[in-house]
Amino acid sequence: MVTNGNPEAAPHSDAATIRLAHRVCDDSLDWLDRVRALFALPRDVADHEITGDALKSLSELALAAGVVRREAVSGPRGASAAERLLDFAWREFREGDLLYQLQRHTPAATHPLEIYSMFAAVGYRHAPFERLAAHLGELRAWRVPEHVPNRRLAVVAATRRVGLPAHDDPAALTGQTWLGGTPEPWMLDANNAYGLTHTVFHLTDWGADPEGLPPELEEYLHRWLCVWVEVFKETGFWDLLAELLAVGACLRRPLLFGEVWSHLAHAQHDDGMVPNGVTRPAENTSVAFRNHHHPTIVAVVAATLTVARALRPAPQPA
Amino acid sequence: MLTTSPPARVEAATRVLAASVTRALNSPDHPFPLARRVAEIGDDGGGPGAVRVVGADVLAPYLLGDRVPGHDDIEAVRAAVREFPAPPPAPHPDPVWAARDWALVRALAVLGVDATEWEGVCAEAGDGSADPGATGSEPWPTWAVGMARLSTLALPHLEGATRTQALARRTDLARGMARAMLRRDHHTAARLARWLALDQRSAPEPLLGSALDHLALLGVDESRTALEIALARRIAQPEH
């Protein structure tokens, strides 16, 4: 058994952490599976008029389901829900053709590749898309998107996942992120926090490769992650808390925060939805969906990585 | 000058006294007549109450510089202790009272005054770590909050188990400080910064200087926070 990884955390056995995270994950997947029609993309608009939010939600659903498949620590119930969700999302993206059309329509956009890479990572491929992406990746324009630094890392990670040649220097890009600057920990705000979590997710490929995080940033997170977890646990900001829990599970020496999982499990609704902790969920599921599908998706990722790392503290790099 | 309820009076008086001690720490060449300051605040409970709240820190201008307290200054402290005695240890001993009075007695001893028999001093004046096993293994968030309450023990001459713990758990002090800053609890943050300042030369915390500047600017209207910051800065200096 691994130890908690954080000697200062309240004692909480790995078995209890695994049990809690497992339950949160299964219940979240149940809810996502039940409401999956709400993730469907509109059929009555041109492809390029589909909103970024709709594409983002569906791609995040695919990401979470892909992590469940990759880690293979879910029980049969969670695993089959994840498979259904992956297939559903791939069908909604017309088995890659929608992403291909979007990339053709706006060649400078990076989000079709970022979304496609989630599927490519778990074996769903679309050959014309990849030919187009390979060409775009060679262009000077592809090196200079006007993105915030952590988003540049997202593109680097997507390129890597799809298997295209890398032209950017991840170390230089990392140095420009909030996390890469190892800032004073009290300067974290919600916006920086999401930047930080995504820097870790992209560098470690959503926990598949903890070695992708530079050692000095691992050390920095070992020092301060527990502070931010404590602060957002206290304020009940479940969406961000779940992201931070996922970060802990992406580290070489994982920080699993067993005691905090009991708070997240307690916040989860009986139907499996994890509220964001910031806005009050509506009674009506399709209304509640808008603001609370994201924390429920993040809970799946965080819980899956937590269980995987508790069972297997040093995973094989992908 | 202060006409509200007794607790509010003490609170307001504490702000005035804390500001006075802060000024003394920041201007070491000016005299610090403690007895006169207390009298100016008022003897309707406010002044002596404030002395009790500020605790050993009222002696900091003497402990951390060349000033020597007059007999009347010591007498003002003694009168405050008599007027606001520590609660009786039975049935429930209060470790914070015990630790704070331990600090006061020790600080007075450094100034050549034996206060062990003073009326009103906590009989159990231990050093706040009567049960080191319990406090030593506490998770960092609660441990740090406990240390913040004991910040008056963070003075150079007060060696004891609490200080030993503070040295052993500097990362947790820094975590507690960062957490308090994120919670906009500048007072707690400044108190933990003060503990960090105490061993800054032997175990430097690189964030201490910027944390103190940050707290001084954000907690600009909080006199007790300002006192902790002034103490932290003074303590971190090499010459005492």
What one-character-per-residue DSSP string does B163-206 give? HHHHHHTHHHHHHHHHHHHHTT-HHHHHHHHHHHHHTTTTS--T
Residues 6+ apart with CB under 8 A from A239: A276, A277, A278, A294, A295, A298
End-to-end CA distance of chain A: 23
A39 with A92: CB under 8 angstroms? yes
Burial of A55 (0-12, 13-18, 19+ CB in 10 A): buried
A3 with A251: CB under 8 angstroms? no
Count of pairs with CB atoms under 8 A, one residue in A, one in B: 40
Q: pLDDT over 70 for what percent of chain B?
A: 92
CB contact under 8 A, A231 and B214: no
Its ipTM equals 0.92
Cis check for the bond before B31: say yes or no (omega within 30 of 0).
no
Residues B203-219: what's their mean pLDDT? 97
Residues 6+ apart with CB under 8 A from A55: A41, A102, A111, A115
Nearest CA to A51 out of A90, A124, A102 is that of A102
Domains of chain A, residue spans? 14-311
Distance CA B137, CA B168 (A): 12
Residue A303 has pLDDT above 90, yes or no: yes
B105 with B121: CB under 8 angstroms? yes
The conformation of residue B240, written as its DSSP 8-state character, comes to: -
A123 torsion bin: left (phi>0), alpha (psi -120 to 50), beta (else): left
Nearest CA in chain B to A231: B179
Residues A300-318: what's their mean pLDDT? 83
What are the tens digits of pLDDT across the range A206-239? 999 999 999 999 999 999 999 999 999 999 999 9
Please report the pLDDT score of residue B89 as a whole number.
Answer: 78
Please count the other Cβ atoms lying within 10 Å of the Cβ belonging to residue B55.
21
Kindly list the residues from chain B whose CB atom is less than 8 angstroms away from the CB atom of residue A228. 182
Query: B233 to chain A nearest CA, in Å?
Result: 19
Residue B130 has pLDDT above 70, yes or no: no
Preferred mutation among A228, A230, A244, A260 to probe B, highest tally of B CBs within 10 A: A230
Burial of B68 (0-12, 13-18, 19+ CB in 10 A): exposed
Kindly list the residues from chain B whose CB atom is less than 8 angstroms away from the CB atom of residue A226. 140, 175
CB contact under 8 A, A188 and B210: no
Burial of B207 (0-12, 13-18, 19+ CB in 10 A): middle
Nearest CA to B7 out of B92, B106, B104, B84 is that of B84
Residue with tokens 């490519």: A120
What are the tens digits of pLDDT across the range A15-63? 999 999 999 999 999 999 999 999 999 999 999 999 999 999 999 999 9
The band of B18, judged by pLDDT with boundaries at 50, 70 and 90, is: very high
What are the tens digits of pLDDT across the range B89-112? 778 878 888 899 999 999 999 999
A312 with A19: CB under 8 angstroms? no
Kindly list the residues from chain B whose CB atom is less than 8 angstroms away from the CB atom of residue A186. 177-178, 181-182, 189, 211, 214
CB contact under 8 A, A186 and B139: no
CATH fold of the domain at A14-311: Glycosyltransferase (1.50.10)
Nearest to B139 among A10, A223, A228 (CB): A10
Residue with tokens 């400078």: A108
Please count the other Cβ atoms lying within 10 Å of the Cβ belonging to residue B66.
9
Burial of A183 (0-12, 13-18, 19+ CB in 10 A): middle
DSSP secondary structure letters along A165-230: PP-S-HHHHHHTSTGGG---GGG--HHHHHHHHHHHHHHTTTTT-GGGS-HHHHHHHHHHHHHHHH
The band of A1, judged by pLDDT with boundaries at 50, 70 and 90, is: very low
CA geometry: angle at A110 spanning A105 and A116, to 5°? 90
Please report the pLDDT score of residue A11 as a whole number.
Answer: 46
What are the tens digits of pLDDT across the range B216-226? 999 989 999 99
Tokens encoding A283: 């009674």
